[in-house]
Amino acid sequence: MHYLTLKPIIMSKISIAILLSATVLISCNKEPIGNEDKTTFNTIDKNTLNINGWEFSKSSYDFSINSRDTYFVNPDIGFVVGYNGDIYKTTDSGKTWVKKNSGTTLHLHSIFFLNESFGFISSQSMNCLDADCNKGSVLLKTTNGGETWTKYFFPDYYRILSLKFFNESRGIAIIYTPGSHGSIKENVAITSDGGISWNLIDLDIIPCADKLFFVNNLIYITGKNQKIFKSSDNGNTWETINTPGQANHYARNFYFINENLGIIDAVTDVYKTIDGGSNWIKANIQFTRVGTLHFYNENEGFNIESVWAYEGGDMPTFKGSVFYETKDGGLTWIKSDLIESLQLGLTYFLHNEVGYGFNDSKFYTIKRKL
């Protein structure tokens, strides 16, 4: 399951922030491996925090990446991608990371692998350092686990986001294209030829939509005017779910546990459905917005909310995170004290019990502990 920062319902493309009451400065050793860089975590200085049945461990790495997406094929093999064509791969659950050659300096925004060998990465078409800048967005495809990549360019696309493939041919994404009067249009798009060409679908999705939300065989995306769109056939057809809230707002964040149970952040309130969105009830919450939301089962879940404050200057200062736990499917929540050094950032859950995150120079492992 790919989590986005909860753009689509709780999750998601997937961002989680959670962790650590004590911070230890961590040093890393860098060892050359052929023409690649290997970054090894210092396991002695790893930080671990246990919160209500969940273990959060934090390590530092010494390579620099402005991370945009991460994906784990299994508990051992994972990738993180970011600006300037950066790709890093781990084969040992994040203990070491090896830089891979993407063949481009375009900013990479989304990654998806079908298995250990076959995967895709997509980009935006702006702000790079080589000739690829003039060719549009790129889709990278590998058949050997990221050792080499084939490039497909799309001159009319600004960005390709939130990739997911159902097999080697059929996939779905969000694609930005030129709109009217110099604007940008956000589109859901599907492919049946492995990403070589895309069919844009006419859905009235929100501006700056950057994540699709996936649960089981269902796909969700946020629409305008408090609507959510849902597909059960890999994006070929879509149905509309109406949600509560003010008509001029959109569902800021949402999360579906399964096809029936879902939670939505409707800006002014948070609501829950138990019948797939036909009816919604207001949830009794303490947090101001859905941040990093993840459910272990239908009843047990958590939300991590980052706390920021202005202390002078133009930008707010990060103060820490608060961990909220529910045992009744999101109707009521228990709030933790402020955890000053917990800021998970970009997060991906391999399954309900294991997740991973990147934030600045930190790598996080999240595990359910019985």
At 265-294, the pLDDT tens digits run: 888 888 899 999 999 998 877 777 777 889
Q: Show contacts of 207-211: CB within 8 Å, 24+ apart.
A: 209/7, 209/174, 210/4, 210/7, 210/13, 210/109, 210/161, 210/162, 210/174, 211/4, 211/5, 211/7, 211/8, 211/11, 211/12, 211/13, 211/14, 211/161, 211/162, 211/174
User: Can you tell me the distance from the alpha carbon of 154 to that of 23, in angstroms, rounded to the nearest whole number?
Assistant: 44
Whether 92 shows a pLDDT value over 90: the answer reads yes
Provide, rounded to the nearest whole percent, the portion of the chain with pLDDT above 70.
87
Mean pLDDT of 56-73: 90
Stronger pLDDT, 87 or 63, i.e. the higher one: 87
Q: Which CATH class is domain 65-202?
A: mainly beta
Mean pLDDT of the chain: 84
Whether 129 shows a pLDDT value over 90: the answer reads no
Stronger pLDDT, 47 or 238, i.e. the higher one: 238
- Write down the pTM of the prediction: 0.84
- pLDDT at 132 (0 to 100): 84
If you average pLDDT over each of 35-39, 182-186, 229-233, 305-309, which comes out highest? 229-233
- pLDDT at 123 (0 to 100): 94
Stronger pLDDT, 63 or 223, i.e. the higher one: 223
- pLDDT at 46 (0 to 100): 54
Whether 163 shows a pLDDT value over 50: the answer reads yes
- pLDDT at 314 (0 to 100): 86
Whether 31 shows a pLDDT value over 80: the answer reads no
Residues carrying CATH 2.130.10.10, the chain? 65-202
Whether 6 shows a pLDDT value over 80: the answer reads no
Stronger pLDDT, 22 or 107, i.e. the higher one: 107
| Band of pLDDT at residue 295, cut at 50, 70 and 90 | very high
Query: Which of 213-217, 242-246, 354-358 is predicted with the least confidence, judged by mean pLDDT?
Result: 242-246
| Band of pLDDT at residue 41, cut at 50, 70 and 90 | very low
Whether 304 shows a pLDDT value over 60: the answer reads yes
Stronger pLDDT, 133 or 300, i.e. the higher one: 300
| Band of pLDDT at residue 70, cut at 50, 70 and 90 | very high
Mean pLDDT of 81-96: 94
Whether 43 shows a pLDDT value over 80: the answer reads no
- pLDDT at 252 (0 to 100): 81
- pLDDT at 127 (0 to 100): 66
Provide, rounded to the nearest whole percent, the portion of the chain with pLDDT above 90.
56
